[in-house]
Amino acid sequence: MKLFSCLMALLLFLLQAVPGLSLPRDTLHCLGYHGYCFHSKSCPESFVAFGTCSRRQKTCCIDTTSNFHTCQDEGGHCVPPAIECLEEQEGLCPHRKWKCCAEV
């Protein structure tokens, strides 16, 4: 029983010590795109919705006044890596490995 208690204490310590280890996947995805997690279902002015946070309990919002614009805001299309772009452009896609294309 003492060994179990020590292991649990070590696990709790590691979860607190390692940043991002205990965050949900959708939250990490949002933060990876420099997004912010809001409690409301709609984003404040100058922000656009970009997914969810906290296991779909919050909304991931990206600041449109920053350099991190979504692909659709820039007039592009998000495509999987298997599709070749005729012309790639700047812009964020909801799926990390997808790319933003001006023309497919």
Report pLDDT digits (tens) over 2-16: 665 545 555 555 555
Residue 45 lies in a domain: yes
Residue 14 lies in a domain: no
| Residue 25 confidence (pLDDT) above 60 | yes
Q: Please give the residue range of the domain that contains residue 84.
A: 69-103
Predicted model pTM: 0.49
Same domain for 62 and 74: no
Which stretches of the chain are assigned E, i.e. beta strand? 36-38, 47-53, 58-63, 77-79, 87-88, 99-103
Number of structural domains (the chain) is 2
Residue 11 lies in a domain: no
Residue 5 lies in a domain: no
Task: Report the CATH number at residue 78.
Answer: 2.20.20
SS3 51: strand
Same domain for 74 and 62: no
Lowest mean pLDDT, pick from 14-18, 52-56, 85-89, 92-96: 14-18
